[in-house]
Amino acid sequence: MKFSITVILVAILAAFALASEPLTNQIIVSYPKGTPPWVLDQAKKAVLDAGGVLLYEYTLIKGFAAKVPAKIMDEIRTLGTDYNVLIEQDEVCVTKMLRRGHFVPAANTVAR
C-alpha cells in the first residue's frame, strides 16, 4: 500500500512539473535614470507572479536580472512602455577572442 501511494504522489508531482512553463529566458531589464521606483517594483512583481525568479538587482543602473517564462516578456515590455524599458538577453560577454590558447585580434583591428 505504501508503494502505491508513493507512486501516485510522484506521478502527480511529475504532472505539475510538466504543466508549468519552463524558465527559458534569462534577461536583464533596465530603465533610464529618473524612472520612478514603483515602475521597477511593478515589473519585478509581474516576473514573480508569472513564476519567474529574480536573479540580481542592480544598484548602478535601474534594473534587475531574472529568469522568466517567455509569456511574461511582452507584459514587462507593455508595463515599461512609458519609461523606455530595455529588455535584453543575459549572456556572457568576452573582450578577447581565444583560439587554442592564443589571442586572436578582432576583425576590425589593424595589426602594426
For the chain, list the domains and their CATH numbers.
22-104 (3.30.70.80)
The predicted pLDDT at position 78 comes to 84
> pLDDT tens-digit profile of 77-102?
888 888 888 888 888 776 666 666 66
Q: What residues of the chain score a pLDDT lower than 70?
A: 1-3, 6-23, 94-112
The predicted pLDDT at position 8 comes to 67
C-alpha cell at 19: 504543466
C-alpha cell at 37: 521606483
d(CA 84, CA 49): 22
